[in-house]
């Protein structure tokens, strides 16, 4: 009697997924080969042929532009404080989920939690380590260490504070902290270096953050305005949305750059980063308005009727019942818009002449030590990598948020 030994599970998987039929197998071989070849070329470029001195020499210029060295600690302090704040938020959310019994990580053993964190932020951590490897100063390492410590402390504190239901004074206090601390950090930074001199990747990140924070409320208001029954409000909102969405962002930035001087006195003219941020905000708000409007329409009419039946005021109907559901439904589109905004900040270089990451990366290829050697490829690869890390992390976190909030499953 012969017993057929079962093939190894890996082999089964391979046969079932990659070589199910002849054509399947062919596809696997062709595309697998192509993929491996591209991967090989990429790895060869990154580790063998590329000359990264142009990046390491100019790392400071690329990251923070001409930020004075003596004021660099202010950026470090800001990052550490924001890490603590971020940790606090994460801790509070975690505690709330524990109380609600929906936490995914509660009760997970420590190694599993670490690997979960690694999956979420591994890419970001890797990128930061890579940058740290290129630096020669202690300050950056200290900042990174401070960032991690502050984040952990904030996370633990948040979990502790949120263990019991928050009382009203605590909620008010926390709200003040979340508004006051970032505003304070902003003032702390502009006290040393005015916004007009914010450059490098620091500008891209700051402009994107400001654009996201400012465009969100404006977008929601515009969406509500467009659905309003007041004809004036409706018309204004609709015209605004359609006009702004109809113009290319680059054109708006160019207009912000060149046309303003003809209308306002030079002494009143705002600095370039402000022009950029305002343009980004107004542009993104128009798109967000349409996304949010889509979300509002996706909320079943019964929800509003039920809210009315409960006797809620119109503000409460919108604020407690309709808007939360509407916003939850369109998280992927919103985050997509924010990612687009983050990447679009590079247009400020060309449109407004701000020395942001892309502009600096192009400028350094003409330095006496590096020009004429085709280093534009290394330079652009670095820019692409930085934006990819940021965008991909945002996208992963948004997917996680969707899963948590049950978008598409309810």
Partner 1 sequence: MKRWIALLAVFVLVLAACTGDDDTAGDDGGATTTAGGGTETTAATETTAPGDGGESTTTVAQVADESLIETVTANGVLKCGTRDALPGFAVLDESGEHVGFDSDFCRVIAAAVLGDAEAVEHIDLETADRFTALQSGQIDVLVRNTTWTASRDGGEGATFMQPNFYDGQGMMVSADSGFASVSDMDGVIVCVAKGTTTEGNAAAEATRLGLNWEVRAFDDPNLIQEAFLAGQCDGWSSDVSQLVAVRSVYPDGPDALTILPEVFSKEPLAPAVRDGDTAWAQAVNWAILATIQAEEFGITSANVDDVLASSEDINILRFLGAEFETDSGTTVLDPGLGLPTDFAYQIVKQVGNYGEIFERHLAPLGLERGVNALWFDGGLLYAPPYR
Indicate whether 311 belongs to the interface with partner 1 (CB under 8 A). no
Q: Which residue has the tokens 């300050």?
A: 139
Indicate whether 299 belongs to the interface with partner 1 (CB under 8 A). no
The sign one gets for the Cα dihedral 287, 289, 292, 297 is: negative
Binding part of the chain for partner 1, among 7-15, 28-36, 127-135, 360-368 by CB under 8 A, reads 360-368
Indicate whether 258 belongs to the interface with partner 1 (CB under 8 A). yes
**Whole-angstrom distance, CA of residue 396 vs CA of residue 403:** 11
Selected from 313, 388, 397, 408, the binder of partner 1 by CB under 8 A is: 313
Indicate whether 384 belongs to the interface with partner 1 (CB under 8 A). no
Q: Are 293 and 226 in contact (CB under 8 A)?
A: yes
Q: Find all residues with CB under 8 Å of 29, minimum gap 6, and list them.
A: none
Which is closer to partner 1, CB of 2 or CB of 267?
267
Phi-psi region of 267 (alpha: psi -120 to 50; beta: other; left: phi over 0): alpha
Indicate whether 348 belongs to the interface with partner 1 (CB under 8 A). no
From residue 253, alpha-carbon distances to 193, 219, 258, 286 in Å are 23, 19, 9, 15
H helices of 299-375, in order, are: 301-309, 314-316, 323-329, 331-344, 347-352, 357-363
Indicate whether 8 belongs to the interface with partner 1 (CB under 8 A). no
Indicate whether 233 belongs to the interface with partner 1 (CB under 8 A). yes
Binding part of the chain for partner 1, among 6-14, 22-30, 307-315, 320-328 by CB under 8 A, reads 307-315
Q: State the minimum distance, in angstroms, from the CB of residue 138 to partner 1.
A: 19
Selected from 78, 143, 279, 346, the binder of partner 1 by CB under 8 A is: 279
- In sequence order, what DSSP letters do the residues of 11-30 get, joined into one string? HHHHHHHT-SSHHHHHHHHH
**Whole-angstrom distance, CA of residue 408 vs CA of residue 410:** 6
Q: State the minimum distance, in angstroms, from the CB of residue 69 to partner 1.
A: 9
Phi then psi for residue 138, to 5 deg, are -75, -30
Q: Are 237 and 282 in contact (CB under 8 A)?
A: no
Name which of residues 18 to 57 contact partner 1 (CB under 8 A): 57
Indicate whether 360 belongs to the interface with partner 1 (CB under 8 A). yes
Q: State the minimum distance, in angstroms, from the CB of residue 110 to partner 1.
A: 43
Q: State the minimum distance, in angstroms, from the CB of residue 193 to partner 1.
A: 13
CB atoms closer than 10 angstroms to residue 281: 22
Q: State the minimum distance, in angstroms, from the CB of residue 258 to partner 1.
A: 5
Which is closer to partner 1, CB of 83 or CB of 375?
375
Q: Are 120 and 112 in contact (CB under 8 A)?
A: no
Binding part of the chain for partner 1, among 138-146, 250-258, 334-342, 391-399 by CB under 8 A, reads 250-258
**Whole-angstrom distance, CA of residue 222 vs CA of residue 204:** 26
Q: Find all residues with CB under 8 Å of 174, minimum gap 6, and list them.
A: 92, 161, 166
Binding part of the chain for partner 1, among 92-100, 103-111, 170-178, 265-273 by CB under 8 A, reads 265-273
Q: Are 238 and 226 in contact (CB under 8 A)?
A: yes
SS3 label, residue 226: helix
Binding residue count for partner 1, defined by CB under 8 A = 70
Which is closer to partner 1, CB of 81 or CB of 355?
355
Binding part of the chain for partner 1, among 33-41, 139-147, 203-211, 259-267 by CB under 8 A, reads 259-267
Indicate whether 229 belongs to the interface with partner 1 (CB under 8 A). yes
Name which of residues 188 to 217 contact partner 1 (CB under 8 A): 199
**Whole-angstrom distance, CA of residue 251 vs CA of residue 232:** 28
Binding-site ranges for partner 1 (CB under 8 A): 57-58, 60-61, 65-66, 199, 218, 221-222, 224-225, 228-230, 232-233, 236-237, 240, 243-244, 246-247, 251-252, 254-266, 268, 270, 274-275, 278-279, 281-283, 313-315, 317-318, 350, 353, 355, 359-360, 362-368, 371-374, 376
């Amino acid at each position: 009697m012969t017993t057929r030994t079962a093939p190894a599970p890996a082999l089964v998987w391979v046969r079932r997924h990659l070589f199910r039929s002849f054509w399947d197998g062919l596809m696997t071989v062709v595309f697998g080969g192509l993929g491996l070849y591209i991967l090989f070329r990429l790895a060869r470029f990154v580790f063998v042929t590329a000359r990264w001195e142009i990046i390491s020499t100019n790392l400071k210029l690329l990251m923070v532009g001409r930020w004075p060295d003596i004021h660099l600690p202010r950026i470090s302090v800001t990052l550490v404080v924001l890490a603590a704040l971020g940790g606090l938020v994460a801790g509070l959310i975690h505690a709330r989920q524990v109380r609600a019994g929906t936490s995914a990580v509660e009760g997970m053993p420590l190694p599993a939690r670490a690997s979960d964190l690694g999956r979420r932020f591994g890419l970001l951590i890797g990128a930061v380590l890579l940058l740290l490897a290129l630096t020669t100063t202690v300050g950056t390492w200290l900042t990174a260490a401070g960032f991690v410590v502050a984040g952990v402390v904030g996370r633990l504190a948040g979990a502790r504070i949120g263990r019991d239901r928050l009382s009203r004074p605590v909620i008010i206090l926390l709200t003040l902290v979340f508004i006051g601390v970032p505003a304070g950090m902003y003032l702390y930074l502009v006290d040393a270096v005015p916004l007009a001199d914010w450059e490098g990747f620091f500008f891209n990140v700051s402009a994107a953050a400001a654009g996201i924070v400012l465009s969100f409320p404006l977008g929601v208001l515009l969406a509500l305005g467009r659905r309003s029954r007041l004809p004036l409000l409706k018309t204004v909102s609709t015209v605004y949305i359609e006009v702004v969405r109809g113009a290319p962002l680059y054109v708006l930035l160019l207009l912000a750059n060149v046309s303003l001087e003809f209308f306002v006195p030079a002494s009143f003219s705002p600095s370039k980063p402000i022009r950029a941020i305002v343009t980004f905000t107004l542009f993104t708000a128009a798109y967000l308005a349409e996304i949010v409007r889509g979300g509002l329409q996706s909320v079943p009419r019964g929800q509003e009727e039920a809210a009315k039946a409960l006797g809620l005021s119109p503000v409460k109907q919108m604020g407690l019942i309709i808007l939360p559901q509407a916003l939850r439904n369109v998280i992927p589109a919103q985050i997509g818009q924010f990612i687009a905004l983050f990447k679009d900040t590079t247009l400020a270089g060309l449109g407004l002449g701000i020395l942001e990451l892309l502009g600096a990366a192009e400028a350094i290829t003409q330095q006496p030590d590096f020009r004429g050697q085709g280093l534009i490829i290394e330079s652009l690869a670095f820019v692409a990598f930085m934006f990819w890390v940021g965008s991909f992390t945002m996208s992963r976190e948004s997917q996680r948020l969707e899963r948590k909030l049950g978008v598409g499953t309810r």
